[in-house]
C-alpha cells in the first residue's frame, strides 16, 4: 500500500491532542509536514502558511485542516487546486453555501474532500443506530454541557463570527443525532444566549423534530462547572437508550450494553485513507445546516460578559 503523505495545517490543541497520535496509528498514513504560524514539531518540515507548504514543502498527497473554521474554505481551495486530498476538521466551514464550490472542485480534480464528524465514530454510536432502527422512537433529549475554560482555553476565535461558540462542541451532538435517527430532522425554535462581549453564543436551547413530528430537545451550555455532560437520551417503545461520554457508552434502561476506548480520530484517518485511495469524497452537511438554522431562527438574549 502506498503511504498517504499528510500535512497538518494549523497545529493547535486539537492537532496535538488527537491528530498526531491518530495519524501515527493509522496504516497507510504518515505525517510529512506541519504548517502553522505559531507551532512546529521537531524533526518535521515546518512552514508558516499553507501557501508556503504547497510551494516549498516536501512531496505530500493530502492536507488535514485543523485551523479555525473561518479560514478553512480558502485553505481547502488552495490545496485542491494543488491536487491534494483534503480533510476538514469539524465544523467544515463557517457557512453551508461555501462548501458547494469545494465539493465541485474536488470532483473536478478527482481528489477527496472529507468533512469529518469525529463524534459519529465514537464506539457506541453505530450500535445505537442499529438498536434504534428496530424500534419506535417517542422522544429525544440532548444534554451537552461543559466548562469552556477547561476544554477551550485561550481559543478566542471560538467567540468571533463563524466561531460557533457553544455550537463548536454542540455540533458534535447534532452529528450523532443525525447519524442515529432514521429520518432527517430540522430546527423549529431556538434560544441563544450571547455574552455581552462576544459574537457567538455561550449557551443554547433547540427544539427540533422530523417529518413525523418526533419531539426533540437539546441543551448546550459552556458554563458548566460541575459534572460535565455529553449525553443523548432516546425514549422508545422498548426502553430508554442513553448515549453518554460523547457516544462512548450506550445503556438500555440504565444497563451498559456497549462501551469502548476512544478511537474516533483513528477511525477518521482510516476513512480518509480509504477515500483517498479511490478519490471519493464524503461531505455530509446535515449537522452544519442545523446550526445555521438555529442562528436563523434563534431568539437572542444578552448575558454577562465572558472572561477567559
- Three-state secondary structure readout of 167-211: HHHHHHHHHHHHHHCCCCEEEEEEEEEEECCCCCCCEEEEEEEEC
Q: What gap in Å lies between CA 133 and CA 65, rounded to an integer?
A: 34
Query: Active-site residue 90, yes or no?
Result: yes
Q: In sequence order, what are the residues at sequence separation of 6 or more whose Cβ sits closer than 8 angstroms to the Cβ of residue 308? A: 149, 153, 154, 156
Evaluate whether 176 touches 144 at the Cβ level (below 8 Å).
Answer: no
Q: What pLDDT is stored for residue 40 in this prediction?
A: 84
Same domain, 32 and 49: yes
Are 75 and 124 members of one domain? Answer: no
CA distance 176 to 46: 35
CB-CB neighbours of 44 under 10 Å? 14
Which residue range forms the structural domain that includes residue 91? 4-115
Domain end (from 82, 99, 115)? 115
pLDDT, residue 38, reads: 86
Is residue 278 domain-resident? no
Residue 124 sits in the same domain as residue 110: no
Q: Are residues 223 and 146 in the same domain?
A: yes
157 and 297 assigned to the same domain: yes
Question: Which CATH number characterizes residue 45's domain?
Answer: 3.40.50.720
Residue 81 maps to a domain: yes
Residue with cell 462542541: 169
Check whether residue 124 and residue 142 sit in a common domain. Answer: yes
d(CA 224, CA 230): 11
Let me know the angle formed at the C-alpha of 163 by 160 and 168, rounded to the nearest 5 degrees: 140
Same domain, 77 and 138: no
What integer pLDDT is reported at residue 104 of this predicted model? 98
The answer to whether 41 and 34 are in contact (CB under 8 A) is yes
Distance, first Cα to last Cα, the chain: 46
Do 55 and 23 lie in a common domain? yes
- Same domain, residue pair 154 and 111: no
Query: Residue 190 in contact with residue 204, Cβ under 8 Å?
Result: yes
**How many domains does the structure of the chain reveal?**
2
Q: Is residue 40 assigned to a domain?
A: yes
Give the pLDDT of residue 275: 98
CATH code where residue 165 lies: 3.30.360.10
Indicate if 88 and 129 belong to the same structural domain.
Answer: no
267 within some domain: no
Can you tell me whether residue 134 is helix, strand or coil? Answer: coil
pTM (predicted TM-score)? 0.95
Tell whether 274 is covered by a domain: no
Does residue 111 sit in the same domain as residue 123?
A: no
Report how far residue 68's alpha carbon sits from residue 155's, in angstroms, rounded to the nearest whole number: 9
- Please tell me whether residues 91 and 193 are part of one structural domain: no
Task: Spell out the per-residue pLDDT of the chain, length 308, in tens.
Answer: 589 999 999 998 899 999 999 999 999 999 999 999 988 889 999 999 999 999 999 999 999 999 999 999 999 999 999 999 999 999 999 999 999 999 999 999 999 999 999 999 999 999 999 999 999 999 999 999 999 999 999 899 999 999 999 999 999 999 999 999 999 999 999 999 999 999 999 999 999 999 999 999 999 999 999 999 999 999 999 999 999 999 999 999 999 998 888 899 999 999 999 999 999 999 999 999 999 999 999 999 999 999 98
Active site residue: 90, 145, 205, 255, which one? Answer: 90
Residue 1: its pLDDT value, please? 53
Amino acid at each position: 500500500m502506498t503511504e498517504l503523505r499528510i500535512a497538518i495545517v494549523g497545529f493547535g490543541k486539537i492537532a496535538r491532542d488527537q491528530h498526531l497520535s491518530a495519524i501515527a496509528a493509522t496504516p497507510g498514513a504518515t505525517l510529512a509536514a506541519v504548517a502553522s504560524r505559531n507551532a512546529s514539531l521537531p524533526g518535521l518540515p515546518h512552514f508558516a502558511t499553507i501557501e508556503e507548504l504547497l510551494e516549498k514543502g516536501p512531496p505530500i498527497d493530502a492536507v488535514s485542516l485543523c485551523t479555525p473554521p473561518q479560514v478553512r474554505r480558502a485553505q481547502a481551495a488552495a490545496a485542491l487546486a494543488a491536487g491534494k486530498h483534503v480533510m476538514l476538521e469539524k465544523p467544515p466551514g463557517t457557512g453551508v453555501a461555501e462548501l458547494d464550490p469545494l465539493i465541485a472542485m474536488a470532483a473536478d480534480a478527482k481528489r477527496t474532500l472529507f468533512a469529518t464528524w469525529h463524534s459519529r465514530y465514537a464506539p457506541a454510536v453505530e450500535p445505537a443506530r442499529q438498536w434504534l432502527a428496530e424500534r419506535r422512537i417517542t422522544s429525544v433529549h440532548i444534554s451537552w454541557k461543559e466548562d469552556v475554560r477547561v476544554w477551550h482555553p485561550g481559543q478566542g476565535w471560538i467567540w468571533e463570527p463563524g466561531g460557533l461558540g457553544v455550537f463548536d462542541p454542540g455540533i458534535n451532538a447534532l452529528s450523532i443525532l443525525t447519524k442515529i435517527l432514521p429520518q432527517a430532522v430540522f430546527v423549529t425554535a431556538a434560544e441563544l444566549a450571547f455574552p455581552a462581549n462576544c459574537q457567538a453564543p455561550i449557551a443554547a436551547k433547540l427544539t427540533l423534530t422530523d417529518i413525523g413530528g418526533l419531539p426533540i430537545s437539546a441543551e448546550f451550555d459552556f458554563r458548566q462547572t460541575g459534572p460535565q455532560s455529553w449525553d443523548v437520551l432516546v425514549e422508545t417503545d422498548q426502553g430508554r437508550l442513553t448515549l453518554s461520554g460523547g457516544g462512548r457508552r450506550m445503556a438500555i434502561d440504565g444497563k451498559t450494553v456497549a462501551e469502548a476506548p476512544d478511537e474516533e480520530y483513528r477511525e477518521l484517518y482510516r476513512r480518509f485513507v480509504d477515500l483517498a485511495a479511490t478519490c471519493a469524497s464524503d461531505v455530509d452537511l446535515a449537522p452544519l445546516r442545523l446550526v445555521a438554522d438555529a442562528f436563523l431562527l434563534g431568539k437572542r438574549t444578552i448575558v454577562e460578559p465572558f472572561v477567559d
